[in-house]
Amino acid sequence: MTTLSSSQMPQQQQQFSSLDAYLATLPGWTGTDERSNHLIHSLFRSFTDLSPAAHAEKITFWRNVISEAASRRLLGDHVSAFDAKGLESKFKRRGLAPLGLDVVVSDMIRTQDLVPLAQYRNEISWGSWAVSTLVKAPLSWGYAQVTGKKSKFTALENQYVVAETVKREADAFLSEFYQEAHYGVDHVLRVEDFQSRLADACAAQLNGTRPSKLDIDLVQTYLKASGKAVFSVDPNHPDEGIVKVRPAQDKSSSTLIITETDRGIIKLRRTVHMLHLQVEELETRIFNLTKQAKDRVRVGQKERALYFIRQKKGVTELLKKRIASLETIEGIIGKIEGAESESEVLAAYQLGSSSLASFMSTSGLTVDAVDATMDKLQDTLADQAEINDAIESGQNAIIGSTVDTDEIEEELEQLLEEERAVSWPAVPTAPLPSKAIPSAGKNASATTNYAALDAELDDMLSEEMNQSSKRKASAQPLGA
Give the residue numbers spanning the domain of 296.
Answer: 259-368
Q: Do 289 and 358 fall into the same domain?
A: yes
Q: Do 336 and 410 fall into the same domain?
A: no
- Please compute the mean of the pLDDT values over residues 376-399 and round it to a whole number: 59
- Give the end of a domain, one of 368, 394, 416: 368
Q: Do 358 and 299 fall into the same domain?
A: yes
Q: Do 293 and 364 fall into the same domain?
A: yes
- Please compute the mean of the pLDDT values over residues 192-221 and round it to a whole number: 86
| 464-478 residue pLDDT tens | 667 666 665 665 554
Specify the number of domains making up the chain.
2
Look up the pTM and report it: 0.59
Q: Do 334 and 273 fall into the same domain?
A: yes
Burial (CB < 10 A; 0-12, 13-18, 19+), residue 43, is buried
Q: Do 272 and 360 fall into the same domain?
A: yes
Q: How far is CA 102 from CA 86, 98, 106, 157, in A?
A: 11, 10, 6, 9
Statement: residue 8 has pLDDT above 50? no
Please report whether residue 460 resides in a domain.
yes
- Percent over 70 (pLDDT), the chain: 64
User: In the structure, what pLDDT confidence band is assigned to residue 114 with cuts at 50, 70 and 90?
Assistant: very high
| 243-297 residue pLDDT tens | 999 998 888 888 888 888 888 888 888 889 899 999 999 999 999 999 999 999 8
Give Cβ neighbours of residue 93 (< 8 Å, ≥ 6 apart).
23, 29, 40, 44
Give Cβ neighbours of residue 56 (< 8 Å, ≥ 6 apart).
none
Between 468 and 16, residue with greater pLDDT: 16
Statement: residue 433 has pLDDT above 80? no
Please report whether residue 382 resides in a domain.
no
User: Using CA atoms in the order 279, 284, 290, 296, what is the torsion angle rounded to 10 degrees?
Assistant: -140
Statement: residue 147 has pLDDT above 80? no
Q: Do 363 and 304 fall into the same domain?
A: yes
User: In the structure, what pLDDT confidence band is assigned to residue 128 with cuts at 50, 70 and 90?
Assistant: very low
- Give the end of a domain, one of 320, 345, 368: 368
Q: Do 320 and 413 fall into the same domain?
A: no
- Give the end of a domain, one of 344, 368, 392: 368
Statement: residue 101 has pLDDT above 80? yes
* Rounded Cα–Cα distance for residues 152 and 141 (Å): 10
Lowest model confidence (mean pLDDT) among 65-79, 212-226, 463-477: 463-477
Please report whether residue 446 resides in a domain.
yes
Q: Do 269 and 325 fall into the same domain?
A: yes
